[in-house]
Amino acid sequence: MKKMKKITDGKLFWLIISFLISFSVWVYITTVETKSDTKVLRNVQVVLVGEDTLLDNYDLVVTGLDTTNVSITVSGPRWIVNGLDSSDVIAQVDVSRLSMPSYTPANSATLPYNIVFPSGVDTRNLTIERKSQESVIVEVSKMDEITVPVGGNFLGEVSEEYRKDTPIFDPAVITVRGPKKYLVNVDHAYVEYGEAGMVYSGTFTDGNARVVLMDSSNKPCENTEYLTLSADTVSVTLPVLAQKVVPIAITPQYSSGATEENTRITYEPETLKLAGDSAVLDEINQIQLDIVDMSTFGTSTTLKYTIRLPNGIRNISGITEATVTIEIQGVETKMFEVDQFVWTGVRDDVEVVVETEKLPVLLRGPSKFLNNLTPNNIRVEADLSELMDTMGNHTVEVKVSVPGNNRIGPVKIDGEPTYTVYIQLKQKEANS
C-alpha cells in the first residue's frame, strides 16, 4: 500500500497521466471534431426584408410567394453541422430589389435568397451543397384605395306594435386601402348588431359593431390581412318606431241646407298606418286634410288631397293621395235672378248707381222650399261705408241670404268664390 502511494505521489506518474489526457483530446479533435459531415435542413422559413422600402418609395406590396419554405443541404465540421436546426436558419429574400426601374409592378419576379445562420455559428467552414430551389418567385401589387358603403343586419326582433326604421351607420362609408388585386373583390362593408332572440321596443344603439368586408355575392372577402380600413368598427343606431292606424278626415263648414245629418262624406283611403316616436304618435288621432266650406259646390263634389304628415312621422301605408267624396242628400239647387239690392252705410250725399241689372243666384235646399221661393224672397246686400270717400266704379262683394229660412242658402257658381255686383258711386248735387 505504501509502495502504491509512493508511485502516485511521484512527478513521473502525473506527467504520464497529463500526456495521456492531452493525447486523447488531440485524437478526438483530429478524428471527430474536424471530420466533415453533411446534413439536410428541411422547412427552412423564407423571410422577406426590404418591404418597408418597397412600400414607402414605390407604393408596392408583396402579395404572394411561390413557397414559404425551402430545404438546403449543409456540409462542414461535424461539431458545427450537428448543432444546426431548421428553425434556427432562415432563407432571406431582399424584396427592395424589386424597386429597380426594370421591374414592372403587378407582375411576378424571381429573386435569389441568402441563407442566414444563427449568430455565433462559424460559417467559414460551412458549405451549402444543395438547395431545393435556387430562387423564390415573388408577386407584388400596386397599392390603391376605395370607398365602400356600410350596411348590416339586425339580429334582434321588435314587438308587434313597433317596427324597425332605416338604420344609421356612423361612418356611413369606409375607405379600404391595399393591393389592387384584393380591392377588386371588395363590394361593401357589413356589420351585425343587436342580440339574436332579444325583443326590442325602443331605439337600439351599438357603438362598436365590427366591420367585415364583403364581395358582391355577400360573402366575406379573402386575403383581408393585406387590407387596412379607415375604421374597423362603426356605430349603429336603429330607430324602433311605434305604429298606429289613424283615420283621414276633413272639417266641414255646414251651410246652405247642408247639415251633419244630411251630409255623407266618404274617404279613400279611410285610414293610414303611421310609424314614429311614440310620444309624437300618441298625439295624432286623425290626419286632417282640409276645412271645407259646404257652400262651394252644389249637391256633391269630389276632392283630392296630397297627404301631409308631421315631421318625423312615417307613412307606412305608402299612400300619398286621398280622395274625399261629399254628397248632400235631400236637397236640390235652383237658379234665381235678383234685381233688387240692399245697400247699407251710404251717406245722404252719395248716390249708388247699380250697373248689374240682374244677379244670377244659385240656391240650395229642400225642393219643397225652393219651389215656393221667388226672387223677391232673396236678400242681396252689402255695406258700402268704407267706399264713401271714393267716388267712381266699384266691384262689390255682396251677401246672399233667404230671410226666415235657414234651410236654404247660396252656393258658389262654377267655383266662383263670391257673389259680386258692379256699382258706381256719385256725389249728389246740392239743392239749388
Contact 64, 107 (CB under 8 A): no
Contact 361, 380 (CB under 8 A): yes
Beta bridge partners of 273: 245
Contact 274, 240 (CB under 8 A): no
Separation of alpha carbons 242 and 239, rounded Å: 10
Classify residue 196 by burial, with Cβ atoms within 10 Å: 0-12, 13-18, 19+. exposed
- Per-residue pLDDT tens listing for the chain (432 residues): 455 555 555 566 656 667 666 655 554 555 455 578 999 999 999 999 998 888 888 888 888 899 999 999 999 999 889 889 999 899 999 998 775 544 555 578 889 999 999 988 888 889 999 999 999 999 888 889 999 999 999 999 988 888 888 899 999 999 999 998 899 999 999 999 998 888 887 788 999 999 999 999 999 999 898 899 999 999 999 988 999 999 999 999 999 999 999 999 999 999 999 998 888 888 999 999 999 999 999 999 999 999 999 888 989 999 999 999 999 999 999 999 999 999 999 999 999 999 999 999 999 999 999 999 999 999 999 999 999 999 999 999 999 999 989 899 999 887 676 899 999 999 988 764
Which of 134, 140, 128 lies closest to 111 in space, CA to CA? 134
The DSSP code sequence of 162-189 is EEE---EEESSEEEEEEEHHHHTT--EE
The 3-state DSSP class for residue 55 equals: helix
Give the rounded distance of the alpha carbon of 60 from its chain centre.
34
The 3-state DSSP class for residue 149 equals: strand
The DSSP code sequence of 297-366 is SSSEEEEEEE----TT-EETT---EEEEEEEETT-EEEEEEE---EEES--TTEEEEE--S-EEEEEEE-
Contact 325, 300 (CB under 8 A): yes
Type of residue numbered 25 = V
Separation of alpha carbons 328 and 255, rounded Å: 11
Separation of alpha carbons 289 and 322, rounded Å: 8
pTM (two decimals): 0.57
Type of residue numbered 204 = F
- Dump strand ranges (E) for 66-203: 69-77, 90-94, 108-112, 114-116, 127-131, 135-154, 157-158, 162-164, 168-170, 173-179, 188-193, 199-200
Residues 6+ apart with CB under 8 A from 289: 248, 249, 250, 305, 307, 322, 324
Which of 140, 35, 107, 111 lies closest to 78 in space, CA to CA? 35
Separation of alpha carbons 353 and 356, rounded Å: 9
